[in-house]
Amino acid sequence: MEVRVRYAPSPTGLQHIGGIRTALFNYFFARSFGGKFVLRVEDTDRTRYSDEALDDLYGTLDWLGIRWDEGPVVGGPYGPYIQSERYEIYRKYAQQLIDKGMAYYCFCSSERLDDLRREQEDSHSSQQGYDRHCRNLSKEEIQAYLDKGIKPVVRLKVPEEGSTTFHDVLMGDITRENKDISPDPILLKSDGFPTYHLANVIDDHLMHITHILRAQEWIPSGPLHVILYNAFGWEPPVYCHLPMVMGNDGHKLSKRHGSTSVRDFRDKGYLPEAIINYVTLVGWSLDGEKQFFSKYELEKVFSIEKINKAPGVFDYKKLDWFNGQYIREKDDKELAGLLIPYLDRENLLDGMSEDEKLNRVIAIVPLVKDRLKVLSDVCDIARFIFKDPGTPEAKMLCAKGHTPQQELKALEMAYPIIKAGLLEGKADAAIEEELCELAPKLGIKVNGVFMPIRASVTGSQVSPPLFDSIRALGYDDAFKRMERGLEVLGSTSAC
């Protein structure tokens, strides 16, 4: 049997990191068996449908390098793969259920259903949901409604007694009493559009889906879908409901925890290989030890038996660490090419040709590479190289507990040491040793010697290594900025 799985998102919003984990699990499971990964667009909710969301779906999978074997754009033998292009198929199969006595026309008005709902709520009735009012209409009653021009919905006949069981790879057998299943849900709306349940089951069957890997939030739909499969006389696929993706607080991952859309992570400068690696580990582990996997490796070793039953915790700091590791694996030229768009976005490379940009950024990669968590960090770390931070405030030049007068004296003595040392080609360690010797002479801490130099050159009290920063900026500009720092401290009496 060929393994066939599907990722079937609804294009109503940007791709959520939890949804992409579902896509990755499906993709790697299919690849591990040499099977097919099918993309299906479930766009029957036209009120929430968004072209932007559909474009984001395609763009996200493309960015991650996840290629679908069948689906929109690429086609396949069981298309169309966009549900809004399959309405006639759903109507055909809904009619089959009616003909078999497994479904029926319902003519209840929205007003009647609203009254029924209020009545059940007010009386605290044990029976909630539809009361099966139209379940046993005669042919004559049905025709009378149709003659009046009333368009019916089609409802599924859910058994009123007994129970329904389906097997889940992770959870085992899951059983639900039929009386507790939503009574006779709508399969086909009065406008002829299918509901999720009908379209989902029909499509999975006709597309020969063998395994369904989806979030645990769909477990309550499992018994209803099995009833539908039984009504059609079809064999249900194998179910595997995936653990939820949680934040560190134990609640479902949402915007209150941080970014949740893949687009946000991409815009901030996370690498696709880091996203794939880390997200796959949220709720899955090969052996509890190995952490780094290439996409190719995951295609070989992934198995659903290794999925954890417990919810997976999405740790933003851990993702940052993963991303940093992958950044440091890049060679300088490739990393420079990845950094340029972020520097361009903040207009830090204005006036440069493409070749000049590449050469300029390659030159600074050694300075920033080990300090990047995400690609966009380069803007704050290296901004001083491309854009003059302007005249600093005196308090920026003063280390904690030091006065402007102390820092002025320190910078006056340090400046010629740095200038001569760099121009003469002295070793950084030798220059640093000379600067450190100034501290006891001036009666200040070593930080008091280095802070006015660092802040003058970079416009910040925190920066990459000082001498590397000066070289990256260029000696002339660095010396001018130190001279500007001297002027500021010389004209300031207090911070």
pTM reported for the whole predicted model: 0.92
Q: Residue 16 has what DSSP assignment?
A: B
pLDDT of residue 22: 97
pLDDT of residue 494: 66
- Whether the bond between 311 and the residue before it is cis, its omega within 30 degrees of 0, is no
Number of C-beta neighbours around residue 487 at 10 A: 11
pLDDT of residue 123: 85
**Interval 294-339: pLDDT, tens:** 999 999 999 999 999 999 999 999 999 999 999 999 999 999 999 9
Q: Give the pLDDT mean for 262-286.
A: 97
Residue 445, pLDDT > 90, answer: yes
**Interval 197-212: pLDDT, tens:** 999 999 999 999 999 9
246 strand-pairing partners? 252, 313
pLDDT of residue 464: 92
Average pLDDT, rounded, for the chain: 95
Residue with tokens 């699990």: 25
**Interval 402-413: pLDDT, tens:** 999 999 999 999
Q: Give the pLDDT mean for 237-266.
A: 90
pLDDT of residue 313: 93
**Interval 146-185: pLDDT, tens:** 999 999 999 999 999 999 999 999 999 999 999 999 999 9
Measured distance CA(218)–CA(212) in Å, rounded: 11
For 236, the token pair is 């249900």
CATH superfamily of this structure's domain 86-242: HUPs (3.40.50.620)
> Which amino acid is present at 145?
Y
Alpha helices in 4-86 (DSSP H): 17-32, 51-64
41 strand-pairing partners? 82
Domain range 394-490, its CATH number among 1.10.10.350, 1.10.287.130, 3.30.70.260, 1.10.10.60: 1.10.10.350
Which of 255, 295, 300, 480 is catalytic? The answer is 255
Measured distance CA(334)–CA(338) in Å, rounded: 6
Q: Give the pLDDT mean for 359-371.
A: 96
DSSP state letters, 101-158: TSEEEE---HHHHHHHHHHHHHTT-S--S---TTTT--HHHHHHHHHTTPPPEEEE--
Measured distance CA(448)–CA(454) in Å, rounded: 10
Specify the pairing of strand 172-177 against strand 36-39: unpaired
Residue 254, pLDDT > 90, answer: no
Specify the pairing of strand 163-168 against strand 103-106: unpaired
Residue 59: C-alpha distances to residues 54, 56, 163 (Å): 9, 5, 43
What is the CATH architecture assignment of 331-386? Answer: Orthogonal Bundle (1.10)
| CB within 8 Å of 127: residues ≥ 6 apart | 120, 183
pLDDT of residue 495: 63
DSSP state letters, 191-206: TSPBPHHHHHHHHHHH
**Interval 70-82: pLDDT, tens:** 999 999 999 999 9
Residue 489, pLDDT > 90, answer: yes
> Which amino acid is present at 296?
Y
Q: Is 252 a catalytic residue?
A: no
What are the extents of the domains in the chain? Answer: 4-83+245-313, 86-242, 331-386, 394-490
Q: Give the pLDDT mean for 117-122.
A: 89
The residue among 174, 167, 206 whose CA lies nearest residue 81 is 206
The residue among 92, 107, 90 whose CA lies nearest residue 153 is 107
125-146: burial string, b at 16+ Cβ within 10 Å, e else:
eeeeebbbebbebeeeeeeebe
What are the φ and ψ backbone dihedral angles of 165, each rounded to 5 degrees? Answer: -125, 140
327 touches 320 (CB < 8 A): no
Domain range 4-83+245-313, its CATH number among 3.65.10.10, 3.40.50.620, 3.90.1570.10, 3.30.1280.10: 3.40.50.620
Helix, strand, coil shares, percent, the chain, to 5: 50, 10, 35
